[in-house]
Structure 1
Amino acid sequence: MSTVKIFDTTLRDGTQGEGVSLSVEDKLKIAQKLDSLGVSYIEGGWPGSNNKDIEFFLRVGELNLKHAKITAFGSTRRKDTLAENDPNLNRLLEVGVKAAAIFGKSWDFQVHTAIQTTLEENLAMIYDSVRFLKSRGLEVIYDAEHFFDGYKSNPEYAVATIRKAEEAGADWIALCDTNGGTLPHEVSAIVADVRTRVSCPIGIHAHNDCELGVANSLAAVMAGATQVQGTINGYGERCGNANLVSVIPNLQLKLNYDVISGEQLASLTSVARYVSEIANMHMPINQPYVGTAAFAHKGGIHVSAILRDSSTYEHIKPELVGNKQRVLVSELAGQSNLVFKAQELGLDFDTGNAQTKALIEQIKSMEHQGYQFEGADATLELLMRNAYGQLEEVFTLESFKIMVGKTVNQPVVSEAIVKVRVHGETVYNAAEGNGPVNALDNALRKCLERHYPDIQNMHLADYKVRVLDDKDTTAAKVRVLVESSDFQSSWSTVGVSENIIEASWEALADSIRYALLNQTPAEIRTLEHREPLGIVNH
């Protein structure tokens, strides 16, 4: 089985994506997750460009990483200077990394236009820079920027640039599709040709401008590349980089390459979702392998088939990548969908008993009112557990009030007061928020956090409102969908009402209830923990 090394650049190239901004603490957390995933290299940033990246490199040693080699990013020396005097190259040495990835020009057009020097000087810049870093004991990955465009324009010069890097001692040569415009058959042919011209191990760095980042990475590996550079969830400049969350399982499960261990692969979904939460980027539900809809089934015929054998409509077992099979209940769903959901929850779903008949009628009635369970599986689970007597009511609402105020030249302020009963005790709290729903969320949490301190680990990830009948204008019924997350998993709940606040409360309350399923109150956990110490034998 051939081995492919994963070079993760989420912390560097990924942060160039629109809307992605990571603090030093964020980068350290993600680095820890990437290491647990088993990637070979983590490109932490460009220490020559900003102080935040310098701080990251100074602190990353605290993490005691087990798998990944922390790598610093930089460029070849400036034209008409000495590598020893180049401040960017020296900064790579100062941050104490063992590996460096430096980019240089491989396209003659870029040499003349971007850095405005001669082709000969560009070759010297590449050679001197790689030689300098190698002489200081670093592992060097040479990123041949715009290589595929350069090869198509002037193949002999493009190859000459990577040969210079090889002559200087580069450990890896990564061929970059910087503009993301190359097609898979071109990547395959060019990588195959390069393999006959250089002996240095080859990597691929693909961008996704034609939505081919993953396909191009696979094509390169099949043509002989043994390193893939990319980002978690495909973050990156413009349309992003090759998505490692798809690259890794495709290589390992489909092409039989040795990439990471099976145990590490099973953490892929949680890593992808964790990174999206830290980056504050919404993860598409239909993202292959790790999206919540990746193994979701809606049509009754499909569900009936997967009850017999999941391979009828699933290309892999979702557990291999840490995901799970989901069955959606909607107006298109048959009885098989409810049977599957009941089996998943361990419920005795017998269509002949009164509980089941009542549940089916309740679901039909709620769907008629505007509820939609295909996007709110947590609400559906709560309904089903309640119907079969498996749901403990952890809190009940007594009242809430919301005040919204506006002062001239000041932002609108929302404040909520919530009164609930928790384990026989009436608790009320007030909180402000960024809007009335956020204020309600904050106030409810304050009411519950003494009994359930773990509630601090969950948060609202998304909030959607849809008007169900616009003929009624401002009096129309609305459906609110709330997505919540605790960094390891996510779930969705729904509320429907003519009043948007009431619909929001329904969805919010169900979200909290679902988060607290199987949670033991803090005071009971304390007693359970202390009980052995308090036992006196007579």
Structure 2
Amino acid sequence: MGKRSFEILDVTLRDGSHAMKHAFTEEQVRETARGLDQAGVTYFEVTHGDGLGGSSLQYGLSAVDELKLIEAAVEECKSSQVSVLLLPGIGVKEDLQEAVKVGAKMVRVATHVTEADVAAQHIALGRELGLKTIGFLMMAHMAPVEKIVEQGKLFESYGAEVVYVTDSAGYLLPHEVKERIAALKNELTCEVGFHGHNNLSMAMANTIAAVQAGATYIDGSLRCLGAGSGNTQTEVMVAVLERLGYNTGIDLYKIMDVANDVVAKYMHRPQEVTGSSLIMGYSGVYSSFLLHTQAAAQKFGVDERDILVELGKMKAVGGQEDLIYDVAQRFALKKSSLV
């Protein structure tokens, strides 16, 4: 097929963990991994939605130990390689070492967009372990372009081989993605990537903007399975980018088959732009807050949209899930005082 124009990295088995309430079974992981491998996907990610070590009461307990799922995915691959996500403070260096023992070949070290400095030792360890090592700047809408460039340079100085603009809230619009990707391309010598969420129905347009601005790593999930309204839809992305004249290196029919014959059957619900996820994109709220917010709204009898708008005003970030319940309780108290 010739040289690929870029790498499409599939995150169904990691970002999709949020939508699946972290309840992937080993068989679901094996079937999905097998399909991704047969379709020609070079890298795909397998971990708890919040990365290595994410299984907890705060973030949600995994039904199956993630090392077992990583190992199962690796066993199904003839050519694909398995990536893991690591958020410093949630996952620790020992978690990464254990993931490598069961076959992980890539690590994406994720920090808030202004906190790349907390990842220096994790990036260094990734390189030391021989992994493809990536820096992931989350909630990229929350910092100006100059700050993103500054933080990207830090990641590169620590040894990151790719730096990602991560639209964790699905808040960015195409011109904003283009501006951020282009700035990193101009200022860094390493490669640049983009990870989008579809809360404003912009994920595909944003991904195209990223590619046109020079991104060489782009993320997708099968059937959009991911936090909030999900990610750029992998199988649709392949078709769109091939139509635009790019070589994805992925077999369209085979990637459609794993999306429709495997993933669609185990999804808890269709991935749609719904009232709550739309408000997440509009307010700039972390996409993985969706299910937590719905649970809090039900518990306290308040409108989940009010919670999300307030979290947006507070500029809440990943790791602050406890704020969701604080805000819900505050709205409930206010509501009862008006009765």
Same fold (TM > 0.5): yes
2:214 is equivalent to residue 224 of structure 1: yes
Shift of 1:187: 0.9
Residue number in structure 2 paired with 1:147: 140
Distance in 2 of aligned mates of 1:159 and 1:203: 13
Q: Superposed, which structure 2 residues align to 1:360-509 within 5 Å?
A: none
1:266 partner SS? helix
Residue number in structure 2 paired with 1:187: 177
Residue number in structure 1 paired with 2:290: none
Distance in 1 of aligned mates of 2:45 and 2:150: 26
- Which of 38, 41, 44 aligns to 1:42? It is 44
Larger strand fraction of residues: 1
Indicate if the aligned counterparts of 2:39 and 2:254 stay in contact, CA closer than 8 A: yes
Shift of 1:19: 6.7
Q: Superposed, which structure 2 residues align to 1:330-369 within 5 Å?
A: none
Q: Deviations over 1:488-520 (max 9, x none)?
A: xxxxxxxxxxxxxxxxxxxxxxxxxxxxxxxxx
- Which of 71, 81, 85 aligns to 1:69? It is 81
Larger helix fraction of residues: 2
Residue number in structure 1 paired with 2:153: 163
- Which of 64, 69, 73 aligns to 1:60? It is 73
User: Given the superposition, is the C-alpha separation of residues 98 and 156 from structure 1 closer, same or farther in structure 2, using an over 3 Å criterion?
Assistant: same
Indicate if the aligned counterparts of 2:35 and 2:254 stay in contact, CA closer than 8 A: no
2:108 is equivalent to residue 106 of structure 1: no
Distance in 2 of aligned mates of 1:137 and 1:77: 22
Distance in 1 of aligned mates of 2:10 and 2:176: 24
Residue number in structure 2 paired with 1:130: 123
Residue number in structure 2 paired with 1:265: 252
Indicate if the aligned counterparts of 2:116 and 2:137 stay in contact, CA closer than 8 A: no
Q: Deviations over 1:176-231 (max 9, x none)?
A: 01111111111112211221111111111001111101110111001100111120
Q: Which has the higher contact order (CA 8 A, sep 6+)?
A: 2
User: Given the superposition, is the C-alpha separation of residues 96 and 271 from structure 1 closer, same or farther in structure 2, using an over 3 Å criterion?
Assistant: closer
Distance in 1 of aligned mates of 2:89 and 2:150: 18
What percent identity do the matched residue pairs reach? Answer: 24
Shift of 1:245: 1.8
Q: Deviations over 1:6-25 (max 9, x none)?
A: 10010010121267842111
Residue number in structure 2 paired with 1:424: none
Distance in 2 of aligned mates of 1:20 and 1:219: 31
Gap regions ≥5 residues in structure 1: 108-121, 285-538
Indicate if the aligned counterparts of 1:232 and 1:275 stay in contact, CA closer than 8 A: no
Higher Rg of the two aligned structures: 1
Indicate if the aligned counterparts of 1:47 and 1:91 stay in contact, CA closer than 8 A: no
Distance in 1 of aligned mates of 2:146 and 2:179: 15
2:261 is equivalent to residue 274 of structure 1: yes
Paired residue type of 2:245: N
Shift of 1:68: 1.4
- Normalising by structure 1, we get a TM-score of 0.45
Size of the alignment, in residue pairs? 259
- Normalising by structure 2, we get a TM-score of 0.70
Distance in 2 of aligned mates of 1:139 and 1:131: 11
2:29 is equivalent to residue 27 of structure 1: yes
Distance in 2 of aligned mates of 1:146 and 1:283: 24
Shift of 1:142: 1.6
Shift of 1:266: 2.5
